[in-house]
Amino acid sequence: MTTQTEAAALDGLRDALGLLKDREQVAERLLDSSAKHSFDPDKELDWDAPFEDGKWFWPPELVSLYDTPLWKRMGEEQRILLSQHEAAALASLGIWFELILMQLLVRHVYDKAATSAHVRYALTEIEDECRHSKMFARLISRGGTPWYPVSRVHQNMGRLFKTISTTPSSFTATLLGEEVLDWMQRLTFPDERVQTLVRGVTRIHVVEEARHVRYAREELRRQMVTAPRWSQEYTRVTSGEFARIFSVAFVNPEVYTNVGLDRREALAQVKASGHRREVMQTGAKRLTDFLDDIGVLRGAGRRLWKASGLLA
């Protein structure tokens, strides 16, 4: 006769096996998609073509100072130059995120069966992220702008996070680093006002990043069901803190100095800009809706997300 405790254990085992089966099925589909829709940026893009006169390097509505008093005083040439430097700063930020992500993925699969589809897809994603980082670096060099690293404080906080992160908090941070930039890039690659090379870079990134987002979402959803309570709460708090760091790092103050603007005035106007706040919250909405649905945006974590400005 099966006791109530044994029955509960059997139900738990069935649920765990079901989650593993689902994990493998998702990974197999993503591996198939990777085989069909992966790109070599060095061959796909014309890196030698000259930039087109009068074209933007980022859609103007997504430039941090858009529709501020300072923006209205700037000439068109300076506005375009700012878009070029902000595109380089975002590419630099993207490289930082992807370097963190690659290390988190290696940690995630370190003790898992290397023959599983889940691990094989993680390794495939690492390949993608390596290409993306090289592609972003080449775009920065091609544009002749500086590389814009995050601050020393944020570099060290990234090192700390990589050391103490759990699996669900890693995947939450992964989605934060991917989905807001992905939303912006989806607006960029079809925009004919934008430089052809930038559109090509963002198109490749959007197509390949869609698989990464699916992988991270599905794994995070599973983790928030199976992780112990302390880990779930830890994920809520760390995701909120990472959202705060992200919102600050998204604008690199050096871009303003390098295009001839007063840094303090520019930062103050960005902070006060209702348009900028709406852009960032709209870019994060698909993610915050998902995190809310799976129970991440609760308690102190939700308050931190609100403080970051990414959650209304």
The pLDDT-based confidence of 65 (bands split at 50, 70, 90) is very high
Over range 271-296, report the average pLDDT.
95
> Could you tell me which residue, 163 or 189, shows the higher pLDDT?
189
Write the pLDDT tens digit of every residue in 185-225: 999 999 999 999 999 999 999 999 999 999 999 999 999 99
Among 3.40.50.1100, 1.10.10.410, 1.10.620.20, 1.20.1440.230, what is the CATH number of 55-308?
Answer: 1.10.620.20
Over range 128-156, report the average pLDDT.
95
Q: Given this model, what pLDDT does residue 199 score? A: 98
> Could you tell me which residue, 17 or 245, shows the higher pLDDT?
245
Q: What percent of the chain has pLDDT over 90?
A: 83
Average pLDDT, the chain: 91
Over range 235-241, report the average pLDDT.
92
pTM of the predicted structure, to 2 decimals: 0.89
Q: Given this model, what pLDDT does residue 7 score? A: 40
What are 298's two structure tokens? 């609760």
Q: Given this model, what pLDDT does residue 16 score? A: 44
Over range 164-189, report the average pLDDT.
92
Q: Given this model, what pLDDT does residue 8 score? A: 40
Over range 97-104, report the average pLDDT.
93
- Render the chain in DSSP notation, one character per residue: ---HHHHHHHHHHHHHHHHHHHHHHHHHHHHHHHHHS---HHHHS-TTSPPPTT-BSS-GGGSTTTTSHHHHHS-HHHHHHHHHHHHHHHHHHHHHHHHHHHHHHHHHHTTS-TTSHHHHHHHHHHHHHHHHHHHHHHHHHHHTPPP-PPPHHHHHHHHHHHHH--HHHHHHHHHHHHHHHHHHHHHHTT-TTB-HHHHHHHHHHHHHHHHHHHHHHHHHHHHHHHS-HHHHHHHHHHHHHHHHHHHHHTS-THHHHHTT--HHHHHHHHHH-HHHHHHHHHHHHHHHHHHHHTT-S-HHHHHHHHHHTS--
Q: Given this model, what pLDDT does residue 11 score? A: 39
Q: Given this model, what pLDDT does residue 19 score? A: 59
Contact (CB, 8 A) for 219 and 23: yes
**Domain segments of the chain as ranges:** 55-308
Say yes or no to pLDDT of 181 above 80: yes
Say yes or no to pLDDT of 252 above 50: yes
Over range 150-177, report the average pLDDT.
90
Write the pLDDT tens digit of every residue in 8-59: 443 343 444 455 678 899 999 999 999 999 999 999 999 999 999 999 999 9
Q: What percent of the chain has pLDDT over 70?
A: 94
Q: Given this model, what pLDDT does residue 312 score? A: 87
Q: Given this model, what pLDDT does residue 162 score? A: 85
